[in-house]
Amino acid sequence: MLDIRLIREKPDLVRKNLKKRREPEKLKLLDGLIKYDKRYRNSLQRLEQLRHERNIITDKVAKLRSEKKPYKKEIAKIRKIPKEIKKMEGEKEKLGKKTVSCLMRVPNLLHESVPYGKDDEDNVVVETFGKHPKFDFESKPHLEIAEGLGLIDFERAGKVTGAGFFYLKGELAMLEQAIIRYAIDFMVKKGYTLIFPPLMLRRKPYEGVVDLDDFESVMYKIDGDDLYLIATSEHPIAAMFMDEVLDLKDLPIKLCGISPCFRREIGTHGKYTKGLFRVHNFNKVEQFIFCRPDQSWKLHEELQKNANELYQGLGLRFRVMNVCTGDIGSIAAKKYDTDVWMADNHYREMGSNSNCTDYQARRLNIRYRAGEGKPPVGFVHTLNNTALATSRTMVAILEHFQQKDGSVNIPKVLWPYMNGIRTIERK
RNA sequence: GCUGGGAUGGCCGAGUCAGGUUAAAGGCGCACGGUUGCUAACCGUGUGUGCGUUAGCACGCGAGGGUUCAAAUCCCUCUCCCAGCGCCA
């Protein structure tokens, strides 16, 4: 959420940002917002005037009563006012809600280094890492490899849960755990604190972390409770300090989340959906930072460097993309995607690194102060990046390190976590 | 799940049982000013949010609703904390 005062004082700046984002329909939203905000403030003033009139008489009544003088006449004068106040309150409330719901939909201001573009075609390659895999046989997609090794069962999962779910078996299930431990150990060594968060959130904190429009389509809701299954540990971690004032000396707070992630992800027709790439639940190790505004751009690069080192450690071929103005989400001011090479010779998203500046923190009301007893200075900045999402990392490993005989070599960095297994072989 | 106790400003803590000059005693912290050879101590002022921003006004006592001319105070619903009991890992 942007600062409403920024919109009042510099609407043109916000307009320019919307044009850069190629969101012309949001220009109308912004105009509506400005109108609602004005009407809201008008009704607020009229309401306060009414309350003021009532308060004057109310004080008079109190005085007369304490002096044991008659006061009934005074009360008769303002009998009607409470009703009028209630009406005005309703109006003010309605306008206030409209204003806020518009405000919540106005996207974050973009950083100047974000390239201008229409969609993911216009994202700019920042850097490419790793050797391009070459095969002297016909390489296979990961699903075929995993099924050939008897390590995955989508069919039985489909029977009991539906499409998009799977059973991992044997060495592949172990590989998943190895990926998690590798990522955790790496992040902890870098000074990040490991967090296992709650796997459900109430609606209110959830509204602070995601776009309202995403709720019904993306999230699993628990029937009978005000609870949603988390789509990533980013969400409960971001919400962790909701309504708090953090001490400057504690910033930056660097965290590493580990959790299952639950995603309904309907409406993904036409996208790459075979196998483990797009599933309803998977595990993910996540990087998250709360920091001072002046630290966030440097830390954004740090988060990317961490991801690069993790993927390089695995020996993967991947590239870092600077996501363009038309493709970036509404919460991020700048975003790097990390896309990994796949056996059909396409690069696909492995991770996503966002600097949300104060946009998320304002919604969640997370501020910072210079020290104990001092007043809050402003909102913190929040950043998040994937460390490793297990399902997609498994896809990458299976496809990069497949052998002619159908076996798969395990990256060396995972050996310590694989009980001596260095190659997954056909039985 | 049941019973009882609680939630007040950056923090601690009065006020709630009898609704009304309570921005809310008192204290701590913090900011500014004064005094002092430095520090400490001491004295004074300030220290929630919103709208107009000059005066001012409104809101505000966990969240939401109700009663009333008037609610921190009375009533209802919900959330969280503490204690005890029950139940299950």
Distance CA A310, CA A188 (A): 13
What is the pLDDT confidence band of residue A302, given thresholds at 50, 70 and 90? very high
Of A176-190, A218-232, A257-271, where does the model show the most confidence? A176-190
Answer for the pair A382, A288: CB distance below 8 angstroms, yes or no. Answer: yes
- Token readout for A188 is 């902890």
Residue A402 per-residue DSSP state: B
d(CA A4, C1' B8) / Å: 30
Query: How confident is the model over A91-106, as a mean pLDDT?
Result: 88
Res A231 pLDDT > 60: yes
Instruction: Enumerate the nucleotides of strand B whose atoms come under 7 Å of any protein CB.
Output: 10, 20-21, 28-31, 47-52, 57-59, 66, 68-70
Q: Bridge-partner residues for A262, per DSSP?
A: A281
Strands A334-341 and A347-355: antiparallel
Mean pLDDT of A288-293: 93
Categorize the per-residue pLDDT at A268 as very low, low, confident or very high, splitting at 50, 70 and 90: low
Is A418 strand, coil or helix?
coil
- Distant-in-sequence, close-in-space partners of A240: CB < 8 Å, separation ≥ 6: A197
Q: Tell me, what amino acid is at A14?
A: V
Q: Token digits for A38?
A: 């004005």
3-state secondary structure of A15: helix
| Whole-number pLDDT of residue A12 | 93
What is the C-alpha separation between A340 and A204, in angstroms, rounded?
35
For residue A315, pLDDT beyond 90: yes
* pLDDT the model gives residue A151: 94
Q: Which nucleotide is nearest to A66 (CA to C1')?
A: B20
CB proximity A103–strand B (7 Å threshold)? no
User: Residue A73 CB closer than 7 angstroms to strand B?
Assistant: no
Residue A388 has pLDDT above 90, yes or no: yes
Q: What is the mean pLDDT of residues A215-228?
A: 81
CA–CA separation, A190 and A305 (whole Å): 11
- Position A267 pLDDT exceeds 60: no
In this predicted structure, the answer to whether residue A11 has a pLDDT above a threshold of 80 is yes
A123-158 tens-digit pLDDT: 999 999 999 999 999 999 999 999 999 999 999 999
Percentage of chain A lying above the pLDDT 70 cut:
97
What is the CA A158 to C1' B57 distance in angstroms?
64
Asked if the Cβ of residue A81 lies within 7 A of any atom of strand B, the reply is: yes
Question: What's the pLDDT score for residue A269?
Answer: 56
A365 touches strand B (CB under 7 A): no
Angstrom distance, A156 CA to B14 C1':
66
Q: What is the mean pLDDT of chain A?
A: 90
Query: How sure is the predictor about A307, in pLDDT bands with cuts at 50, 70 and 90?
Result: very high
Question: Is the separation of the CB atoms in A426 and A407 below 8 Å?
Answer: yes
A110 in helix, strand or coil?
coil
The predicted pLDDT at position A266 comes to 61
Q: Which of residues 367-396 of A touch strand B (CB under 7 A)?
A: 371-375
Among candidate residues A300, A303, A340, the one with its CA nearest the CA of residue A320? A340
- pLDDT at residue A191 in the model: 96
Q: Is the pLDDT of residue A406 over 70?
A: yes
Å separating the CA of residue A67 from the C1' of nucleotide B63? 38
What DSSP string describes A141-189? -HHHHHHHTT-EEHHHHHHHT-TT--EE-HHHHHHHHHHHHHHHHHHHH
Domains observed in chain A: 4-105 (1.10.287.40), 120-424 (3.30.930.10)
Nucleic chain B contacts, protein chain A, residues 183-202, CB cut-off 7 A: none
Mean predicted confidence (pLDDT) in A281-289: 96
Residues 6+ apart with CB under 8 A from A316: A129, A130, A340, A341, A396, A397, A400
Long-range contacts of A150-153 (CB under 8 A, 24+ apart): A150/A426, A150/A427, A151/A424, A152/A275, A152/A276
Report whether A317 contacts A396 (CB < 8 A). Answer: no
Of A238, A206, A214, A262, the C-alpha closest to A385 is: A238
pLDDT, one tens digit per residue, over A31-52 is: 999 999 999 999 898 888 888 8
Q: What is the pLDDT of residue A271?
A: 66
Q: What is the mean pLDDT of the segment spanning A157-162?
A: 90
| pLDDT digits 0-9 by tens, A363-387 | 888 888 877 767 788 889 999 999 9
Q: What is the pLDDT of residue A262?
A: 93
Q: How many degrees, rounded to 5, is the angle at CA A193 between CA A191 and CA A197?
A: 160
The pLDDT assigned to A67 comes to 78
ipTM comes to 0.83
- Residue A355's closest CA among A338, A332, A337? A332
**Is the link from the previous residue into A252 a cis peptide, with omega within 30 of 0?**
yes
Asked whether strand B has any atom less than 7 Å from the CB of A266, the reply is no
